[in-house]
Amino acid sequence: MTDTDRGTQRDRHSAFSLFTQQSLPACKPVLTPEWVIMTFLFIGFIFIPVGLVTLRASHSVVEIVERYDIGCVPEPFRIDKVSYIQDDSIPKNCSLSFKVPKYMKAPIYIYYQLDNYYQNHRRYVKSRSDKQLLHGQNEHGISSCQPVEVNNDRPIIPCGLIAWSLFNDTFTFIRNRAELKVNRKNIAWKSDRGHKFGKNVYPFNFQNGTLIGGGKLNPTIPLSDQEDLIVWMRTSALPSFRKLYGRIEKDLDVDDVVVVHLMNNYNTYSFGGKKKLVLSTTSWLGGKNDFLGLAYVFIGSSSVTIAVVFTLLHLLSPRHYEDTSYLPWN
């Protein structure tokens, strides 16, 4: 035997060769009908209870959703809502009321919801400068903020379309003629406040141009403490989204009437958007979302159904194990 033959023989017995030829020792379970049926039943008996528990947790969340963008437009201006929202001489104050359907345990989270608002548009998402948000005016790489990077030859802080379009509707809640305090602290992620927005970076030259987008910022408060802005700058992937506005830290009883005084400042009329106010409690699983529970129940029910079908087929038309008569060449 030559040295070449010995090398070839060693290669054939190497671990890589055994792996590529699928000759390594391995557990190779035989999928008999009994094993397949039991596996599907096991999946079903696990997933269905988990799904029901998840749905129960979701249904325990009390949620109130009120759309206000149409009702807050005075009757004479409903033909041309864009002119109404762009006219600063017309007052934008509005009131709405709702009755609490179920007991709501504090904390009660307040969200504003926008529909048909595409924050995931490529140009919109890229129109920001993370370096400027963290370091301020010393950072000159703001070309990504176009078309809102400078005004009167001075940089805008924060620059970009996302900050420029900051949501600026405000809400005040009244119950039994007493104002419900809204806690607006710690509504943004701690990691965003501490690592993405500078503690020594202050708004500068913001919303001073001829075309005003959304809300204004207090120039005496650093960006790390402007939590409305931080929440808004975390863009949504879907055209319908909610963003946290604050928390009510008092319980609301059944049939309590809550009056909301709001300022309808934000323009969603020019692109056919919708604005909604959302009050919601939470469960151990978070907010109200039936999708996860329904997915578990669907997969579990499908597995049980497949197990039942396989059982019937196995009983009505059994096949003996290792029966060579079923081979196609016999």
Closest alpha carbon to 133 in 188, 226, 197: 197
DSSP 107: P
DSSP of 36-89, one letter per residue?
HHHHHHHHHHHHHHHHHHHHHHHHT--EEEEE-TTTTS-GGGTT-HHHHHH-TT
In whole angstroms, give the CA distance from residue 170 to residue 181.
13
The tokens describing 186, both together, are 């710690």
- Say if 326 falls within a structural domain: no
42 and 138 in one domain? no
> Is 325 among the domain residues?
no
Q: Which parts of the chain register pLDDT below 70?
A: 1-15, 138-140, 321-324, 326-330
- What is the count of structural domains for the chain? 2
Does residue 147 sit in the same domain as residue 233? yes
Query: Angle formed by the axes of helices 291-316 and 33-59, to 10°?
Result: 160
Predicted confidence at residue 144, as pLDDT, reads 87
Residue 9 lies in a domain: no
Q: Are residues 168 and 304 in the same domain?
A: no
pLDDT of residue 169: 96
Distant-in-sequence, close-in-space partners of 195: CB < 8 Å, separation ≥ 6: 134
Q: Are residues 166 and 44 in the same domain?
A: no
Is 226 in the same domain as 184?
Answer: yes
8 A C-beta contact, residue 301 and residue 48: yes
For residue 10, what pLDDT is reported? 56
Other CB atoms closer than 10 Å to residue 245's CB: what's the count? 21
**pTM recorded for the entire structure:** 0.84
Same domain, 207 and 297: no
Domain membership flag for residue 20: no
**296: which 2 tokens?**
């578990």
| pLDDT at residue 24, rounded to an integer | 72
220 and 299: one domain? no
Contact predicate 108/248, CB 8 Å = yes
Dig out the tokens for 63 from the structure: 């949620």
Tell me: do 136 and 49 sit in the same domain: no
Please tell me whether residues 172 and 240 are part of one structural domain: yes
Q: Which of 242, 77, 88, 224 is nearest to 158 (CA)?
A: 224
What does the pLDDT read at residue 212?
82
Q: In this predicted structure, what is the pLDDT of residue 3?
A: 54
Is the distance from CB of 294 to CB of 55 less than 8 angstroms? Answer: yes
In a domain, 7, yes or no: no
**Cα torsion angle, 64, 69, 70, 76, sign:** positive
Residues 67 and 47 in one domain: no
User: What's the confidence (pLDDT) of residue 57?
Assistant: 95
Residues 79 and 221 in one domain: yes
Which residues span the domain enclosing 36? 31-61+287-316
